[in-house]
Homo-oligomer: A and B are copies of this chain.
């Protein structure tokens, strides 16, 4: 009988191997894609693109293939001697002995020169050609950083005893209500796509006390702006036995602190590639919603048009205010008006026109909505009735309160928005692998 017994060490080396294993002067094999071919007259170079970096390779007398035999985009394996070379990326190069072609592209010209440092074209063109423009070193660095954000979020919450859950994306009704729900037919029944895991994560607080989920959510919003997507990744957590909604903000602050440290440690190369200025997150100021409106109205001479909502421009100004006055990239805006929050939001007992809730603004944009939830069955039922709603279709949600729920709350973080502001982009499509918006369903 033949057996498979686990991963065998490969003969080929990565950039990381060469940097950490003292391979200077030794013969190595390495594979990758041809990122660039450069004929400098006296000397010719081949830049090999690997998943985690590039390796400069230089043609020698006796190399079995020459520039003419090769094309950008080929998958190859090279063999050669590693040599110190200060002018090369990472300080070394491979002096080529042999090149083996593993696969070749058809000879079509690339629609965009992906091996340039910046893709000098419109976002529209970049997205239309996303399957290959992502091979650009700066483009792919963005999504490595995004991986780091998710890893940090998860690892931090795991250490804080949160349990990871997976809740269904097809359901009978939406948690948030409203018109922005995608509908589908489900074996003759009406179904919808989840706008958020809200009801399920609250349900799971009754099971594990603390839970989190990182998963897609779907919003059929007709906004075509630089900050909206119709499918995005929501990083959600929900926690029980809280003393107040400050516990939730504290947990998020802790998560952000952890994420920033993880990025510094494990994603330094991508941070450097994109010249990212990581935010300070040792402490985050908090300000009441009404107070925030008043502050920016005074400082920036702007009339308050709607006392119950924040316009995007106001968010920008609040961000600006806290950067200028407190040198903070973040600000928690608390106590949103009850009428602008969902029925399950807990009202402030000292003034029921406001809720024990918050948004987190980061560099002028809302990246998180959170707050304490109502945990008492009777109170929740009354709120539903007061709003002219019914519990029809929410029986399974109501069940958890009937049989007991601790004081609890949580939040949802928009991953793409957080990544966008983290790396200094201004369109959320820049930090979405394959964005879905009003006009874009492909690639």
CB 8 Å contact bits of A291-329 with B (1 = contact, 0 = none)? 000000000000000000000000000000000001000
Is the C-beta of A62 less than 8 angstroms from some C-beta in chain B? no
Q: Are B377 and A106 in contact (CB under 8 A)?
A: yes
A203 within 8 A of B: yes
Question: Can you name the residue of chain B whose Cβ is closest to the Cβ of A7?
Answer: B254
A51 touching B183 by the CB < 8 A rule? Answer: no
Contacts of A253 in B (CB 8 A): 4-7
A104–B404 contact, CB under 8 A? yes
A140 and B207 contacting across the interface, CB-CB below 8 Å = yes
Query: Which residues in window 141-196 of A have CB below 8 A to B?
Result: 143-144, 146-147, 150-151, 158, 160-161, 163-172, 182-187, 189, 191, 193
What is the interface residue range for chain A against chain B?
35 or more
Which of B14, B131, B185, B403 contacts A183 (CB under 8 A)?
A: B185
A171-B442, A200-B433 provided; 19 other pairs, C-beta below 8 A?
A: A3-B284, A4-B250, A6-B254, A7-B250, A51-B240, A52-B209, A72-B404, A102-B241, A132-B206, A143-B163, A165-B433, A166-B433, A170-B231, A171-B441, A172-B442, A182-B184, A186-B230, A187-B222, A396-B442
Q: List 29 A-B contacts (CB under 8 A).
A: A4-B283, A5-B282, A6-B282, A6-B283, A31-B241, A33-B206, A33-B404, A51-B163, A51-B207, A52-B161, A102-B406, A108-B402, A131-B396, A131-B400, A132-B399, A134-B203, A135-B206, A144-B208, A166-B216, A168-B435, A170-B182, A171-B441, A182-B184, A182-B185, A187-B220, A187-B222, A187-B438, A215-B215, A396-B442
Q: Which residues of A contact B (CB under 8 A)?
A: 1-8, 12, 14, 16, 31-34, 50-52, 72-75, 77, 102-106, 108, 110, 129-132, 134-135, 140, 143-144, 146-147, 150-151, 158, 160-161, 163-172, 182-187, 189, 191, 193, 200, 203-204, 206-210, 215-216, 218, 220, 222, 230-231, 233, 240-241, 246, 249-251, 253-254, 257, 282-287, 326, 332, 375-378, 396-397, 399-407, 415, 433-436, 438, 441-443
